[in-house]
Amino acid sequence: MSTDTNLLGKGLIRLGILVFLFIASPILLTMGFKAFDRFTESPKIYIAYLLILVGFAALIFTIYFAFKTFKIISNSLFNNK
């Protein structure tokens, strides 16, 4: 029962990306909702809708990416192939 170091390295790199996504996706949502309050004219409000849509997509992807990352790390530690 030894640790697969190559797979662990891949998991730790993904963990770093995951931390960035945990920070970036709520910031995108906050920017979208603030833009939605600030912009009332027709061409600019589409930017707010786009930011909200991208923020929710990033949030869903972050949750999916977290499950995949923790699966890779657990497979590297416990040798579940």
For residue range 21-71, list pLDDT tens digits in order.
Answer: 999 999 999 999 999 899 888 888 999 999 999 999 999 999 999 999 999
Query: What does the alpha-carbon distance between residue 54 and residue 72 come to, in Å, rounded to a whole number?
Result: 26
pTM score, whole prediction: 0.85
pLDDT value for 1:
62
- For residue 25 the two structure tokens come to 């996706």
pLDDT value for 2:
77
Query: What does the alpha-carbon distance between residue 31 and residue 15 come to, in Å, rounded to a whole number?
Result: 25
CB 61 within 8 A of CB 17: no
Q: How big is the chain, counted in residues?
A: 81
Residues in CB range of 32: below 8 A, 6 or more apart: 48, 49, 50, 51, 52, 53, 54, 55
